Amino acid sequence: MVNLTLHATASSPQVQADEKTGILVLSGESYPENSFDFYRPILSWVADFLERDRRSLTVEVRLTYLNTSSIKCMMDLLDAMEDAHQAGREVKLNWYYDQENDRALDLAEEFKEDLTLPFTIVPVPSEG
């Protein structure tokens, strides 16, 4: 089990998955050329972590934009977390959004809809 670090690019978010703390952070904007290729290692990391470990998993999402295929990948990630939660694992998700942006709050709530895992929507003060 290793840590996973991907640096942000113009079209993909920064990713930091820490094996010790069980925290996965996604931040930035997500419209990579091939979202499925981009998210595959992230989904694998989560699957490995959930399989090998009994410790809790925390996912922090600080994404301001997701293209359609990234939305699909995000829902796959949420599904994996939901399954783990249903199986009795401790998983939680914190979704950060710009508090000035009502649309961003609506979108966070759309992602949360139908899930039973602990899903916290956290307002972040606007920069500047």
Partner 1 sequence: MAITGRKAPRGDEAQAADVKARLQALREDPAFRDHPLLKELERMAEAHLRLLGRMAKITRISDGFQAQMKALNESLQRVSRTDALTEIANRRAMMEEVGAERLRSIRGGTPMAVVMADVDLFKGINDTFGHEAGDRVLHGLGQALKGALRAYDVCGRWGGEEFLVLLPGTDREGAEEVAEKLRKAVADLRIPAGDKEISVRMSLGIAVLDGHEPLDALLRRADEAMYEAKRMGGDRVEG
Question: Which residues contact partner 1 by CB under 8 A?
Answer: 65-68, 71-72, 75, 101, 103-104, 106-107, 109-113
Q: Which is nearer to partner 1, 4 or 63 (CB)?
A: 63
Least distance in Å: CB of 121 to partner 1? 10
Report the interhelical angle of 68-86 vs 102-112 (nearest 10°): 50
Q: How far apart are CA 66 and CA 31, in angstroms?
A: 6
Least distance in Å: CB of 3 to partner 1? 29
Q: Which is nearer to partner 1, 17 or 85 (CB)?
A: 85
Is 81:59 a contact under the CB 8 Å cutoff? yes
| Ramachandran bin of 87, using left for φ above 0, alpha for ψ from -120 to 50, beta for the remaining angles | alpha
Q: Which is nearer to partner 1, 52 or 72 (CB)?
A: 72
